Structures are given as C-alpha cells and as structure tokens.
Amino acid sequence: MTTVLNSLGFERKPADTRVVVAMSGGVDSSVTAGLLKEQGYDVVGITLQLYDHGVAVQKKGSCCAGQDIHDARRVAEELGIPHYVLDYESRFKEQVMEDFADSYIKGETPIPCVRCNQTVKFKDLLATAQDLGADCMATGHYVQRVVGEGGKAHLLRGKDNGKDQSYFLFASTQEQIDFLRFPLGGMDKEETRAHAERFGLIVADKPDSQDICFVPEGGYVSVIERLRPGAMEPGDIVDIDGNVLGQHKGIVRYTIGQRRGIGIGGTEDPLYVLKLDPARRRVIVGPKEALATREILVKEVSWIGEDVPNDGLLVTAKIRSTRPGVSAKLFAGNDGTARIELLEPETGVSPGQAAVFYHDDRVLGGGWISGAISTDPRLEDAA
C-alpha cells in the first residue's frame, strides 16, 4: 500500500495536522499562513513582541514592531485563524541586543538576525510551538527543505537567488530543520505578492523590512551607547606600519572595509579600515589591496553535512549575505572551530560576520568569523 503524505510531509489529512506559523506582520509570513490555511491545515499564528512597544509603533518596516504586530493580528482575522502575541522582550534583549552591543565593542560586525533565528525564534518559539501540540512550524523564509535518505531533512538555497535567506539560517540544528517548513522556498517574491493579492491581504503591498529591527535608520552607535554606557573609548587611528595618523571616538564607529568617514584627510590614496584592535583601542587603516584575505578562522561552527575529511573539503563559502559564494577548502578544527583556505583572496572579511558553507545548493553548515589572515604580512604584525 502506497503511503500518501500531505504537502508538509505527514501521513494524515491536512485538517489533522497542526502547524504554527511565525507571523511577523510582513507579506511573506502572511502568505505562508494563507497558503496553509487554504490547503486545509490546522493553522495557528504566533507573533513575537521583541522590544519596547512604545518605540516599536514609531518604527515601520521592521519585523516584530508595533505596527507589524497589528498587521499580523489583522491578517489572522482575515484568514480566520487563531493568533497569539508572545512577549519575548527580555529574551530578545538578553540573547540578541546584548550580544549585538558586545560584538561591536570587541571589534566585530555582528548579524543580529542570525542570532535571533538561532535563539529566540528557532529555539524558544519552536519550543512554544511544540507545547501547543504543533506537528511543525512554518516561516516565510526563502529557503528550501528537502528530505533525503533515511528521512533526514536538508536545507537548500531558495529558488529565487535574489531573495535566498539560507545564509541567515546556517545555525539551524538538524532537529530544528526536521521540525521546520518553508512553503515559500520554491517561489519568487512576485509569486508571493500575487498570492497576497489573491487572498486580499492588507499587507499585499507592504514593503520588505530593510533595517535591523531595533536599530532605527541604521543608527547602531546610539543603540550601543544606550546598552553599554561608557563604551565609546577614544583611541588612535594608525597606518599599517603602526604610525599614528589621528584619533577616533570609539572603534564601534568603524567596520572592516570602510572608506568614508574615517576622519583622516590629505592622503594621496584612499584609506580603508583594515583591522580593529579593541585591546589597544586602535583602528588600523591602509590601502585597499591590504584588505585581501587568504584564510578565515571560524568559531561556533554548526554542521549539518557529512564529516569533513582530514585533508579538507571543497566547498562554496559565503562570507557576506550580499556577496556570492567563493570556492574554498574547509578544514575542521577542535571545539567547534574551522579554518577556510580561499582559492582566490577576498576583501572586506570581518570578524562577527558569518561564513556559510554550501555544496551546490545544499547548506552544509557555517560559523562565526573569528579572524582573517591577510595576504599582507604587515597587517598581522600591526595587530
């Protein structure tokens, strides 16, 4: 007898399958809920309140803000599904915002959206979904999930390369991927908006969120000042040979690869931020060619692929969300570390960013960049 699975991979009718949908108030998660409701599933919508509502209602276009919570509630009413708002403010502040501030102080450039997925959304919220008796949890991410041999689920890039969000989900565990579903992974944005219009959703024309949700208009420095008073310690701006060129008002104001706003003028060639030295409160600047990196060190590696051979594994490594992947050789270290040898040097590699590893379209895992080895040995001596 042939086993018939529903579209979410369960051997039962959709009506007998409960799915919790993480609803941010945007068009993607709203359409996810709409499609599953249309297919007859027992759908429950959950929205997280992640930071101060008084601030949130003034900030549109970011997930889990006041207006977005209102939009999610309205969509749930239109679809006729139960909807709950969970107050995760304290968890979000402790696990995401505090980490964000500390990372900048350590000279890193963090990605709080990954931390949010790694902790609040795919750990705490997923546990809540299970407490509600859900068979799975669905999100509006543009990633694909396929089941391979032995029933093991794999994570793949989204069909729409321009919207693919697999980079932000690299830290998902195998257990989480087994429980998660991504109904939009095989679509592009135009298809999603067409469904929103077909459902008559109030968010059909709502623009995508662009900013970090708790950072208004990109003003991350003010957020750090509020979370870590006194963190803006001044220091020296030095060149690659250690010569002092000027002073800064806090290394958190600088990121690797930055050219504008360094505060040093009168040089013949443009200067770029090459490295941040938080221990000595120094910003190291120099020519663009010194940004070239040949090796990357990675920590807190999350791995869902096959074992890495002792002589390394050829992978495609994506080291920024906005850049295409590059060919590299991956070597596994001890205690969740790894080393990446780039086949061609890359510029602007920054500690705190993620390095995500792929085999074709499949996500093998990833980790947080802890260091970069430059092609210019002077830079290593400078720090």
Pairing of strands 180-181, 136-138: parallel
Q: 29: part of which helix (H) or strand (E)?
A: helix 27-38
Q: How far is CA 15 from the centre of its chain?
A: 33
For 326, half-sphere exposure in the C-beta direction (CA atoms, 13 angstrom radius) is 20
Residue with tokens 């594994």: 313
Find the catalytic residue in 63, 113, 136, 213.
Answer: 213
Distance, in Å, from the CA atom of 84 to the CA atom of 76, rounded to the nearest integer, reads 10
How would you write 179-226 as a 3-class SS string?
HEECCCCCCCHHHHHHHHHHHCCCCCCCCCCCCCCCCHHHCHHHHHHH
Distance, in Å, from the CA atom of 317 to the CA atom of 364, rounded to the nearest integer, reads 10
DSSP-based three-state secondary structure for 311: coil
Radius of gyration over every alpha carbon of the chain, rounded to an integer in angstroms = 22
Distance, in Å, from the CA atom of 203 to the CA atom of 71, rounded to the nearest integer, reads 7
Would residue 116 show up in a list of annotated catalytic residues for this protein? yes
Find the catalytic residue in 63, 64, 113, 116.
Answer: 116
Pairing of strands 282-286, 272-277: antiparallel
List the 83-87 sheet strands across, edge first: 83-87, 42-49, 18-22, 136-138, 180-181
Q: How many helices (H) and strands (E) does the chain have?
A: 11, 17
Cα 290 to Cα 241, 271, 347, 354, 357: the distances in Å are 12, 10, 8, 21, 25
Work out the angle between the directed axes of helices 27-38 and 66-79 (0-180°, nearest 10). Answer: 20
Would residue 213 show up in a list of annotated catalytic residues for this protein? yes
How does DSSP classify residue 336? T
Catalytic site positions? 116, 213
